Amino acid sequence: MSASPQPVDAFDLVIFGGTGDLAVRKLLPALYHRYVDGQVPGTSRIIGIAREGLDDDGYRVHARKALQENGGDKTKIDDFLKLVHYRPLDARKDEGWDDFAALIGEQPDHVRVFYLSTSPDLFVDICNRLGAHELNQGKARVVLEKPIGRDLKSANQINDAVGRVFDESQTFRIDHYLGKETVQNLLALRFGNILFEPLWNAEHIDHVQITVAETLGVGQRAGYYDHAGALRDMVQNHILQLLCMVAMEPPSSLSPDAVRDEKLKVLRSLKHIDESNAAQLTVRGQYRAGAAEGQSVPGYLDELKDHKSHTETFVALKAEIANWRWAGVPFYLRTGKRLPERVSEIVVVFKPVPHSIFDASAGPLAQNRLVLRLQPDENIKLWVTIKHPGPGGLRLRHVSLDMSFAEAFGVQQPDAYERLILDVVRGNPTLFMRRDEVEAAWQWADPILAAWGDSGESPRPYTSGTWGPSAAVALIERDGRTWNEDSE
């Protein structure tokens, strides 16, 4: 039986960067689906903000197209679009802000959510103008999209400036990976089942792998990406947050700060990687021309039209957590573009049995693995060893106990943004990053970036459609382990 969706209070959601890719491709469809399920009150307003000179009707044309491409129903789209509005504004100019403030003031009892789906260099300007028009008062919240800065110094500058307008309790730093069903199921899996938590430590776990792989290249994001790279774009936020969910101690409750306190402890326990060990513990790569999804694709430098860039499009790391639970357990992290398949997963590999009672003729004993697939098809697999059925002696076989969310519950899982947007409206920050988490993540990442910069070495080339540089394979195989690449 599926849980009945609970409506939220009426709200005004203002999307700065309302004509951008994230707003059109993710945010508007997410809000539409929650509206169709009855969670968004009909008195709510969704207001797109951008510099383009559109009006309400013009913006609704863009929204309609996006919703139709997302499989929306025509009648329901028509009803939903009555909630959608648009105002042209420039974050760095005064024109139009008085009228915008008056529009927001028409619904003083609404929850106000200001979603900053813009370049981070506009965060401060937008927040300052919201504060100048006193739109930060009452039930107001601000959502900051990653990346928050490009290092600890710039992240602190942004957080300081935003903090002068919005309290920490009003600030929601979003990481959409934490809204995925499988990530949240880690909490239920670990702390709702006596089966796993007693084994969730260095005594029983051999190592953990976290992979976030994409088949796409940088495409239209080449300009942004060349100033970021894979470590800033994916590892410092998404992958470290996944690591925290795997490795944190049991919180005292599911209250927001109880969960985030435990994640912070993990970040602060990460062993340092710097110029003394970065060459042994990290691999960075940059894709060259090759094939992806059955088609020939150009290399990164060709897409960038710059043959001198040292920006990494692939990263593999061996991280360790210096505490009693995880001492000696490596966490192998990797992410990259133009890899063979689009997949995000967490793999917990348990230690082998201490002694085999089976004859060699029975076959090898494989290690138990718990595989949590975040995308494309969210599921959980527990790989166990059983006897192959039939006569002819005892033969061992490694098989998976497979639980697909779509099949088990008979419903389409909501997109991560659907859950996270409504959590902002409710004022629930559990699945959002607190400022000290952001700082701790940068404190770990900054020395790695500095070590790479000081080395003067270029990223290792890899052919599009492969699993990155061969050095990434060597990183894990020299420890007698191998990357999990089961696609079934």
Compute CA 171 distance to the chain's CA centroid, rounded to the nearest angstrom: 18
Active site residue 238: yes
By the 8 A CB rule, do 222 and 233 touch? Answer: no
Phi-psi domain of 89 (left: phi exceeds 0; alpha: psi -120 through 50; beta: other): beta
By the 8 A CB rule, do 166 and 140 touch? Answer: yes
CA dist., res. 105 & res. 372, Å (int):
45
Both tokens assigned to 460: 């290792």
Both tokens assigned to 441: 């993540």
- Distances in Å between the Cα of 78 and the Cα atoms of 45, 120, 148, 417 are 14, 33, 36, 22
Q: What angle do CA 290, 295, 298 make, to 5 degrees?
A: 40
| Cβ neighbourhood burial of 324 (10 Å; 0-12, 13-18, 19+) | exposed
Beta strands (DSSP E) in 91-248 are 111-116, 140-144, 171-173, 205-213
CA dist., res. 480 & res. 395, Å (int):
25
Between helices 256-269 and 435-455, what is the axis angle to 10°? 20
| Cβ neighbourhood burial of 202 (10 Å; 0-12, 13-18, 19+) | middle
- The one catalytic residue in 204, 227, 238, 398 is 238
3-state secondary structure 303-327: HHCCCCCCCCCEEEEEEEECCCCCC
Which residue pairs from 76-83 have beta carbons closer than 8 angstroms and sit at least 24 positions apart in sequence? Answer: 76/32, 76/35, 76/36, 77/32, 79/35, 80/31, 80/32, 80/35, 80/36, 82/42, 83/35, 83/40, 83/42, 83/44, 83/45, 83/46
Please count the other Cβ atoms lying within 10 Å of the Cβ belonging to residue 36: 16
CA dist., res. 21 & res. 60, Å (int):
15
By the 8 A CB rule, do 339 and 213 touch? Answer: yes
Which residues participate in catalysis according to the annotation? 238
